[in-house]
Amino acid sequence: MSPDKFIIEKAQAAVSSLFGAELPETSFQVQVTRKEFEGDYTLVVFPLLKISKLSPEATGQAIGNWLKENTPEVADYNTVKGFLNISFSNGYWKSLFSAIAADEGFGQLPSTGKTIMVEFSSPNTNKPLHLGHIRNNLLGWSVSRLLEANGHKVMKVNLVNDRGIHICKSMLAWLKTGNGETPESSGKKGDHLVGDYYVEFNNIYKKEVAELTAAGMPEEEAEKNAPSLKEAQDMLRKWEQGDPETVALWKKMNSWVYAGFDKTYSDLGISFDRTYYESQTYLLGKALVQKGLDTGIFEREPDGSVWCDLTADGLDRKLLLRGDGTSVYITQDLGTAEQRFSEYSLDEHIYVVGNEQNYHFQVLKLILKKLGFSWADSIYHLSYGMVELPEGKMKSREGTVVDADDLLEKMYNTAKETSLELGKIDSMDETEQDELFRTLSLGALKYFIIKVDPKKTMLFDPKESIDFNGNTGPFIQYTHARIKSIMRKAGERGLGTGAVSDGIELSAKEIRLVKLLDMYPDKIAEGGAAHSPAVIANYAYDLAKEFNQYYHDTPILREENKDLLECRLLLLSTIAKVLVKAMDILGIRLPERM
């Protein structure tokens, strides 16, 4: 039982005995004692004054006396106004530590029976994944793992935007300038190859616009009438009509992209339970539009377009179908939401999408509610800020994005360079070193991105992320490797992790570590409720930092008392296990050696 729940249970008994009142748990507030006061945990007395009919100090004093006399685990107490500061006995901390160390499932919360779908990644098939996609993927993956740790059944899904004008632009540029180039003939990953032709289309388009404006056409008109744009639009119409040649080219180039995506996902350690494709879902939602028209929720304009008027709700009018009957993004989203909630009986559907789409999801939920879907409030937009680099923002059309693959390679090289500079891996063979560099580079990248609250825009600096000191993934990885090194040396001396015997006392620093370990399940719950893996990332850093301070001050393997030494080894082993659990939620591996 955690310390706060233990105090509440005992305080309930104290209030019953002292004041004759049976109070629910919600009447008691317990918090960690502030550093400037003596104590471990603090009971807030103010809510109990109506029952005690005493002053705050007298109420705290009475409850503190009762606890000390009737609860062996309470070593001492003091009152400061309406706050009762409670100090636990060494025996209590040893008992709590023993329970944590023995619990193989520590941190995994009980099953809730709830099913949650998390949609993330959602790339377009006209370009490779880039740095922005990396934040999306890492957030989607880690929040999924965090929700699993909270006892939910989680489905990880991807909706690939595989149709539309964007892929037609790449297809057209390939037809015009590609000369039959393929990933095999060029040696390029398929997603990079298709992305190159998207950039090439933009070059062609800009040249045409410049020629038209030079001939006297207004720029806005030139942008709409450039021949290549009209050809791409015609190609899209042919695709929608099922033209065999167009569909065959679309399938071929998309297959190149899918193969490229799969390689990047594999390198990132990302996978999905199901992948949806926009080409198979873009017509969904049209029946809902008709339902909205039939019930008077939507209205049709003279040009045939369909709108939903949300001005009375403080928003604007939202287009649902164009005049020619074609869908827009929200039409599809309405349809896929209905499909998924119907198919899987979801308790929550989380969309991991950048904050530029905040308004879109506000509108989506509102329209679904107007259509009478009770589950509309179960939609959650995990909105996140953009990732920027020291050089500034990225632009896909101009080919200035930072490709995910290029960044992963850069991170690997940085990890290699940093590790070789430290000079601690000479005993490793080439294969072991390669595996270590990959583990460190991914740990650095994932941790640096996930430790930031999702809502915040962040600046990503590869060099800073791989620092072995400070709040970084490699610092936590190195901490784990350090613990494992100590454990190996202890094993060589025939030492193991013993029980927590009655004859030893935990030091203040050891108690501090037990307190931190005990917080782990609460951090799981806190992070899950906030949909924020950053809570777990920063908890892992706090635990690693506290261990390193303890290690600096405590010569563990030089301890002569065997019982105390093996108790300390058990503490180290438990810290390592919790670090592994926490970092696994983030998709980060911790090496045994560094």
**Structure confidence by residue, pLDDT tens digits, 1-44:** 789 999 999 999 999 999 999 999 999 999 999 989 999 999 99
333 located within any domain: no
| CB neighbour list of residue 426: distance below 8 Å, 6 or more residues apart | none
Residues 504 and 364 in one domain: no
User: Which of 223-232, 490-499, 519-528 shows the lowest mean pLDDT across its residues?
Assistant: 490-499
The pLDDT of 397-415, averaged and rounded, is 79
- Going 55 to 46 to 92 to 540, the CA torsion angle's sign is negative
Task: Report residue 85 as tokens.
Answer: 């500061």
Which of 388, 422, 456 terminates a domain? The answer is 388
Phi-psi region of 306 (alpha: psi -120 to 50; beta: other; left: phi over 0): beta
Distance, in Å, from the CA atom of 261 to the CA atom of 192, rounded to the nearest integer, reads 10
CA dist 489 and 555 (Å) reads 13
Helix/strand/coil percent split, the chain, to 5: 60, 10, 30
Find how far residue 273's CA is from the centre of its chain: 17
Angle, alpha carbons 95-97-99 (nearest 5°): 70
Query: 191 in a domain, yes or no?
Result: yes
Rg of the chain, C-alpha, whole Å: 30
- Tell me whether residue 312 is in a domain: no
Confidence check: pLDDT of 395 > 80:
no
Residue 106 within a domain: no
CATH number at residue 143: 3.40.50.620
Same domain, 409 and 367: no
Domain check: are 10 and 64 in the same one? yes
Does 398 score more than 60 pLDDT?
no
63 within domain boundaries: yes
pLDDT at site 391: 66
Task: Report the SS3 class of residue 216.
Answer: coil
392 confidence band (pLDDT: 50, 70, 90): low
Give the model confidence (pLDDT) of 524-549 as tens digits. Answer: 999 999 999 999 999 999 999 999 99
List, for residues 203-220, the tens digit of each pLDDT value.
999 999 999 999 999 999
Mean per-residue pLDDT, 272-282: 93
Residue found by looking up tokens 């929200």 in the block: 330
pTM: 0.91
Same domain, residue pair 254 and 377? yes
Is 557 found in the same domain as 494? yes
CATH number at residue 507: 1.10.730.10
Parallel, antiparallel, or unpaired for β 317-321 and 306-309? antiparallel
Identify whether residues 359 and 438 lie together within a single domain.
no
Cβ density class 470-496: b for 16+ within 10 Å, e for less: ebbbbbbbbbbbbbbebbeebeeeeee
Check whether residue 482 and residue 506 sit in a common domain. Answer: yes
Q: Total structural domains in the chain?
A: 3
Q: 325-356 pLDDT, tens per residue?
A: 888 889 999 999 999 999 999 999 999 999 99
Give the span between the Cα atoms of 188 and 183, in whole angstroms. 5
Residue 159 DSSP one-character state: E
Give dist(CA 462, CA 407) in Å, integer. Answer: 8
- Same domain? For 430 and 466 the reply is yes
Together in a domain, 410 and 441: yes
Burial class (CB in 10 A: 0-12, 13-18, 19+), 453: middle
DSSP readout, 337-403? HHHHHHHH--SEEEEEEEGGGHHHHHHHHHHHHHTT-GGGGGEEEEEEPPEEBTTB---TTTT-S-B
Considering the domain architecture, whether residues 158 and 40 belong to the same structural domain is answered as: no
Letter for the amino acid at 575?
A: I
Tell me how far apart the alpha carbons of residues 510 and 506 are, in angstroms, rounded to a whole number.
Answer: 6
Whether 253 is covered by a domain: the verdict is yes
Cβ atoms of 277 and 167 closer than 8 Å:
no
> What is the domain extent for residue 26?
3-88
The reply to whether 510 and 578 lie within a common domain is yes
Q: What's at 363, amino acid-wise?
A: V
498 lies in some domain: yes
295 token code pair: 């019930």
Which of 328, 359, 388 is a domain's end point?
388
Question: Is 108 domain-assigned?
Answer: no
* β-pair partners for 118: 156, 350
Q: What CATH code is carried by the domain that includes residue 69?
A: 3.30.1360.70
> Which residues lie closer than 8 Å to 257 by C-beta, 6 or more apart?
125, 126, 190, 191, 194
- The Cα–Cα gap between 485 and 530 comes to 36
Three-state DSSP class for residue 104: coil
* Domain finish residue from 34, 64, 88: 88
Do 358 and 437 lie in one domain? The reply is no
Contacts of 196 (CB under 8 A, 6+ apart): 188, 399
